[in-house]
Structure 1
């Protein structure tokens, strides 16, 4: 399989509709990036959950998923499921994140996500982050919207298990959901691992990129 190297990453921007989306979609990648580059700058925006227990869960979780990172997290109080009705506010928040960030890589939901809040962020991300590498993460849930990703990030040994354990530890409010368990998270990462000849992996949809051949 052809491997593409992003080089050293010192800052990333994260977009999510809900608390736990980031940890589910790229928790293993966050652990890998943070541990590969101490002091990694992480600038994150979550649309919903401000002032609730979910916001507290999210802050504690991202601190664990980004150990040693320079983390800035903004959580808004947009009503869950109604982000499209707050289009202007969401657009302004995404624009503010872009202006406050020097990140070359942006992680956002993917356009084929069945949840309207996720889709809105996926559509807005490239309108603000026009010259960035935007990777669309997948969010395991009950909707039958599992995508066909093109970019795979093999996870280091034990990373998938650590991700699943941290998800269960930091999001007790979600444990009543029938899909929110370690088996589900490990099943998806194992599937993505099979698809890129690794034990486990996280997968992303590529928004747009250029490639250089011949070393020019």
Structure 2
């Protein structure tokens, strides 16, 4: 297994995080963001949530600020597209993403998985890869009752401390989700432990991603 890195301590990295719903980015890539910041990477983060209205919007904003507190710069954009009906809002969502593309030139983009069973997640993946055609894109995963976990081909190991901070921030900031039977520390730790086993992570935890296309130069 070849080891690669986003950036080293002191280096600058521009990151675009795209999530359909208020907790998606934190669940899928929150540990990776926390790790990069802990390692001293100077992150410029553009954090975009497409369905974040009312209390969910308040949760999304407070959570993003907590995850990104040490970042070099942060820009948080929340939209109010209708949850569960993204495929019928394709034109509007694509225009929103095009406006994001005009404002940021990211080194890496984190977005939903193409193989996700949630229709909103799949639509965001489809539009992200359509709008950002010349970018490095990593697809993250969201555990759910649909049972749509697949084989991944990229991993970011997490320390136990980073894993616990990710879980603590998720449970602290998303009170509206705590009543769901899958939204708990056991779920998040278990998936990270499984992915950590797959990549033999030194501290046993990892987040996993899919890379569709890479240019080797």
Give the structure-2-normalised TM-score. Answer: 0.93
Q: Tell me which residue corresponds to 2:13.
A: 10
Residue-by-residue CA offset, 1:117-171 (whole Å, 9 max, x unaligned) = 1001101112111121100000111111112110000013411111111111110
Choose 36-45 or 187-196, whichever is displaced more: 36-45
1:65 maps to 2:70: no
1:120 maps to 2:123: yes
Q: CA deviation at 1:172?
A: 0.7
Cα distance in 1 for residues equivalent to 2:90 and 2:167: 33
Which of 48, 56, 77 matches 1:54?
56
Q: Tell me which residue corresponds to 2:207.
A: 202
Cα distance in 2 for residues equivalent to 1:9 and 1:117: 31
Cα distance in 1 for residues equivalent to 2:40 and 2:56: 28
Calculate the aligned-residue CA RMSD, in Å.
1.3
Listed as ranges, the gaps of 5+ residues in structure 1 are none
Cα distance in 2 for residues equivalent to 1:136 and 1:45: 15
* SS of residue paired to 1:46: strand
Listed as ranges, the gaps of 5+ residues in structure 2 are none
Q: How does 1:23-102 map to 2 (within 5 A)?
A: 23-37=26-40, 39-50=42-53, 52-69=54-71, 70-102=73-105
Q: CA deviation at 1:67?
A: 2.1
Does the 8 Å contact 1:106/1:135 carry over to 2? yes
Give the structure-1-normalised TM-score. Answer: 0.93
Number of aligned residue pairs: give it. Answer: 211
1:186 maps to 2:189: yes
Residue-by-residue CA offset, 1:151-209 (whole Å, 9 max, x unaligned) = 00001341111111111111011000000000110000000000010110000011211
Does the 8 Å contact 1:35/1:67 carry over to 2? no
